[in-house]
Structure 1
Amino acid sequence: MGTKRDVKAGDSMEQVQVLSGVIAIGLLLLFGVSYFRERRQLRNGVWLNGFFIAGGIWLLTSAWGSGNPWLLVPVLLVDGLLVLALLLGIYGVIIFLLYNAHQVWRREAHSLTNLLGLLLAIGLSGLVVWQALIFGDVLPPPLMLLFSFVPVLVGYAFLNFWNYLTISLVYQLHRPRYRQQAIVVLGAGLLNGTEISGLLASRIKRGVTFYQKQIEKGRPAPLLVFSGGQGPDEKLPEALAMQRYAVEQLQVPEKDTAVELQSTNTRQNMAFSARLIQQRFGPRYRAIFVSNGYHIFRAGLLARQVGFNAQGIGAHTAGYFLPNAFLREFAAIMVLHKRLHLRVAAVVVSLAIIQCLLALA
């Protein structure tokens, strides 16, 4: 009997190994084709993360089936760490977000967008308390069923964030060739209405560095397009301040620059800059855009939406600012697809209400 069970278990393990391997290869090929055809889409993250999951299952079943401890122990160790991270990770995330919120509070303006990390930490703390009340049988069953949508929606948001974060980091690995006709540098708010901030300076320097390297390789100088209009608290358009900084501080010839002065958000940055470039170089132009690394994937999504055929390169951002910045970008991307997410939320909440009503009936 034991031998038959062992044989059946071995056959099942082998089937899982083969199936997971086939799925992993298929998802990797799908990711490769999709990514190199169009880098600026969220579905690329779905294929890549699916490959990681299927590949992980294949690796585990292969190590287990081999019986080789040199293969099995490392795989089990990694899997154990992943399980531990899932079980205890929320507490680590809360502590990290609170620490990071303190750093941002000390160094940045006290705006709502700079408090996203703190707000998330408070929300996750509330979820931990709520789950403790549920496991402690403190709440009546109908109330537990009514609010069962909360952890489901939190999980849904986490999966979306993980997908966005994965493909955003992969997108930053792209290195365009030094044969561009135009480099669009995206604007950001000016300090005291006229001064270039450190964040904006990093974007300008990144664009100028690419410009200089292309010239060093013996290629024609690309046009540096500075894109940004004038905000209500600014004394001049961002593009003019950026152009002045590049010419006076970084010794870029003014003839190699252009300004786009009308845009007030990233979508307009892309649309108006594309129009300027098309007028200068025609419809078959070669262009890239520059922003901070955390921002270039969403900027790429918006560029695709307005028909601007350009990929992004990222400028350096201070490490303490990145968690809050990625949260802000994720929130903006969720808003881009708000109809889909609202439909999902409506279905989940409706199911929770139905469960509650059935329990009361």
Structure 2
Amino acid sequence: MQKSIALPLIALALCAGNLPALAFEPLPPETMDDARVFKVEILQVTDIEPYQQAYTGFIKSLQESGLVEGKNLSINRVAIDFDVEKGGFWNRLGVLLRIRQETSRIVTTKPDLVLTIGTPATKYARGMLVDAHIPLVFTAVANPEDAGCISLVDAGEGATGSTLYTDMSDSLKLVRDVFPNAHRIGMVHTDDENGVANVAEATRDGKPLGLDVSTRLVNKTDPIAPTLKELYNGGRGVDIFAVPLDTYYGLHRYEAAIDLGDFGIENKVPVVTLAMVRVPGAALYVGADFTQVGRLAGSQAAKILQRHTKPDVLPILRQMTPTVMVDPARMAALKVTLPAAMVAHKTETSNGFWQIDMAQ
């Protein structure tokens, strides 16, 4: 009995030895879907410069992967601007309805992938896209959990992307190292989801570092000067201003950012920005670079389109080391000397700023 079973098994083994080995290595991207044109829909709320930077980074990353618009890539981009600058409950409700309407349209077009830029578009579009089994990639989101993700690295079902999240504690330590005499930080923000998250993190993480954060909520159409005066209180209030990751500072041709910079210059109060947005008059910039974060989202999108990778298995990416920029002219005007360790790792940029390589 045992002999009769063993003989067929030996024969099978001998035959198998003559079979060619099976190859399981994935095909290189350039051999997959060569003739196909991928359809990508892009959805965002407001059209501000940082979002454009994220979009540019996303497109460049796709190009580096061989996905080129007009060749094998078709892109339709929609920026919702439904009275978003006015803020308020009813206008926010209007934005939500517009996002839902655009998402419904997107679902009917059945694109190969959707990119959402910013927290509102990501938060309110993802449910419908997941239900329609359309891969979602997001970018320029401050805290993924505020956009419905499971964690900072797990986007949950049907989604992945890149985040602007940086460790606020590390950023505030850097601010404290550069401005050791500043202990009271003033932050002006709106109901922007990113801004609210940024301010909450700064308030929480500042306390263990001996930094007291005072915040004020304004509408997106409010001028910033009255609130700055209230926080500064003629020199008896805050001794440094910090800009959160809030669309308020990019609206109205950067009016709030410009006014904040001017106020800092006139009152000799340092202004730092915890987001890489243009703030004339800021002495220190610390945060994630929108273009780089957009590129990270593009790398995820390329895997989904070219290799048919499911979004669920791709982690949320982020810039692990924040970008740090210094305006030496503003530092000199404030009579502040940059720590020697930072000076040793500086590189002068084309606009006269110093970029500090914190990875060294």
TM range (shorter): under 0.3
Q: Which has the higher strand share?
A: 2
Q: Give TM-score, length-normalised by structure 2.
A: 0.27
Q: Give TM-score, length-normalised by structure 1.
A: 0.27
Q: Which has the higher helix share?
A: 1
